[in-house]
Structure formats: C-alpha cells, structure tokens
Structure 1
Amino acid sequence: MKTLSKERILETAHRMVVEHGMEKVNLSKVGTELGTTHAAIYKYFSGKEELWTELSLSWLDHELARLFPFDTDKYSSKKDIVHEWLWILSQSKYEAYVREPEMFKLYTTYIDRNPAVLTRHIGDLVDSLKAASGIEDVGRLYAILMAFSYFSAPAYADNWLRMDFKAEFEAVWKLIEVGIVG
C-alpha cells in the first residue's frame, strides 16, 4: 500500500470528481478509494471545504501554469505581451471548462464563490500581469482584467460555447488596446 500523503489525496479526489462529479464525492469515499478512513484525511485537511478549496487551487494553478511566470521573450511590445497574456488566461479557462466540466464546477464553487480565495486568485493574476507587462498602476491592471472578465470569469462560462469566443475576445481587445501603451 502506498503511503498516504496530501498529494495522493488530491490526485484521488481530482480523479473521483472528474469521474463522478463533486456532489457524489465526499471524504468517506475518498478515504475508501485510498484504502483508509475519512478520519485519516483529517491529518492533512481540516474538512471537505479545505480539501475542495485546495484541490480547486492546485487544479487552477495547473490550468494557468503558462501565466506563472509568463514568458515575455518572444514578444516585441507591451501590447503584444498584454494581448497574449489575456488570451492565454481566457483560452485556458475556456479549455478547462470544456475538458473537465466537473473540476470547473468545483473551481467555481470553491474559488469563485469564496471572497477570500477569489481575492487571492485575482491578486495572483494581477501580479503576473504586472510582472509580464511592466505596468505599475495596479488600478489599470485590475481594469484590464475586468474588461476581459467575460472571457475568464466562471459566471460567464455557459455563454462561451454559444459565441465565437476568439472573435468576441478580439473585439474587446480592439476597444482597450490603445490604452495599454500609456
């Protein structure tokens, strides 16, 4: 039997959520799948809320890995960097929504609807965009993210499949690109 670890618990919970949906997975079922009791999981997580939040964050970090840090070497301008950074954010969330809808649902529930965790996530995004673009004005960075929230915020995910995602993204980009240089 493999040793129980935080990583094994997260991997098992991830697989179970993808296969069965978050509503049908609980700590007891994760424990059974790991060949242990749910009580053993409490050594690593204070409860289901903490497990699901950490699973959501680790999944999201994996999905957005190209942004942390963002490689700016192949871009010649600040506009190109910001455009590509925003596109990678938007495209990554879109692809995650399509590929793993149950994990996207978990992320929506445990990150997007948790103000403290959401604030941390958005702060991480702002820090990444700031480092990539060189834009120092944090207010501008938040405004840029807000302008593209339709393409990255889970609240709008159900609309993404009913639109020309890339064309709509580019239309919004055309509206704000002039403000990126200043």
Structure 2
Amino acid sequence: METAHRMVVEQGMEKVNLSKVGSQLGTSHAAIYKYFTGKEELWTELALSWLDCELARLFPFDKDKCSSKKDVVHEWLWVLSGSKYDAYVREPEMFKLYTAYIDQNPAVVARHIGDLVDSLKAASGIEEVERLYAILMAFSYFSAPAYADNWMRMDFKAEFEAVWKLIEPGIEG
C-alpha cells in the first residue's frame, strides 16, 4: 500500500499499474493478486486507507474543547471540510484516486457516509439519523469531491460559515 501510494503521488494513477507496483516491490504483479483481486480493489483499498488517515481527527472526534452541541457540530463539520480541502491541495493525485474509486462507487460511498454519520452522532449526541444525514448534505459542497475544483475559486471558510448560519438554529444545545 505504501509503495502504491508513493507511486500514485509521484506518477499519477493513470501511469501506475500492478506490474509497476510489483516491480517496485521486487516481485511480479501476479504476487499482488494474492492480496487483491485486481487494480480496482487495490486502488479502492488504497483510497480508503488514505481517506481514513486524512479524516483521522473524526474517528473519534475530540469534543473536549467544545462548550455546546452547536460547537461540536460546527467544529466536526469544519474538520471534515478542512481535511478534504487540505487533502485536495496537498495530494491532488490521491484525491483524484479517492474521487475515482470511492466517490464513483455507490457501495463504498454509502459506507463512507455511514461512517461519517456514526462519528457525528457519537460526537454530537444527535440521535435522529435523518437529521445527521441532512446536516451532512447541507455541507456536502465543502466535502464532496464533485465540488473540489470550486474550492480554490471561493473564500472557503466564509462560504462554510454562511451555510453554518443557515443550519445553526436547527441544532439544539
């Protein structure tokens, strides 16, 4: 995984294949099939692993510095949005891999969104799953890869805060 990650960052996902990864590891691409069914599974697992690292501050979320439920939700959303923004800027090739192999795979997206909902629920204490999904949807512009190209053309923090002002009254506590 580390070798594949390095190669994607250096060369771009289009130029990396299982044969090249195997060569870098000093083995054949056939040996990689012992661990992955193919390139798609390797890239999906690599993208998920990378995303887990990028969002590590959400799992679990440290709410000790927050004084209210509103503060928890706001800070959690900002960590989610800021982490994805930073990842997009810092490692564009890995973000492209994430977009292609997670965001374009409905089953994997559902798992990712479910993990986010579980984290926000644990952090905020909000029990209504529908409300949690609605909160995530309200901020999808700041975290969904489909909008990433727009992030650099806007005042990201100011736009985030404008959306927060719209939903803040709906957060109790």
Do they superpose with TM above 0.5? Answer: yes
Partner of 1:158: 149
Alignment of 1:63-142 (within 5 A): 63-142=54-133
SS of corresponding position for 1:126: helix
SS of corresponding position for 1:43: coil
TM-score, normalising length: structure 1: 0.94
Summarize deviations over 1:119-172 as a string: whole Å, max 9, x none: 000000000000000000000000000000000000000000000000000000
Partner of 2:34: 43
Give 1:78 deviation, angstroms.
0.1
> Could you tell me how far apart the structure 2 residues matched to 1:71 and 1:162 are?
31
Specify which of 149, 168, 172 is matched with residue 159 of structure 2: 168
> Could you tell me how far apart the structure 2 residues matched to 1:25 and 1:180 are?
45
> Could you tell me how far apart the structure 1 residues matched to 2:155 and 2:67 are?
28
Give 1:72 deviation, angstroms.
1.1
SS of corresponding position for 2:57: helix
Alignment RMSD: 0.6
Give 1:73 deviation, angstroms.
1.2
> Could you tell me how far apart the structure 1 residues matched to 2:143 and 2:69 are?
21
> Could you tell me how far apart the structure 1 residues matched to 2:65 and 2:48 are?
28
Give 1:75 deviation, angstroms.
0.9
> Could you tell me how far apart the structure 1 residues matched to 2:82 and 2:64 are?
20
> Could you tell me how far apart the structure 2 residues matched to 1:77 and 1:148 are?
20
Query: Which letter maps to 2:32?
Result: I
TM-score, normalising length: structure 2: 0.99
Query: Which letter maps to 2:164?
Result: W
Q: Across the two proteins, how many residue pairs are aligned to each other?
A: 173
Query: Which letter maps to 1:159?
Result: N
Does residue 1:145 correspond to 2:136, yes or no? yes
> Could you tell me how far apart the structure 2 residues matched to 1:76 and 1:52 are?
40
SS of corresponding position for 1:67: coil
Give 1:173 deviation, angstroms.
0.2
SS of corresponding position for 1:128: helix
Summarize deviations over 1:77-134 as a string: whole Å, max 9, x none: 0000000000000000000000000000000000000000000000000000000000
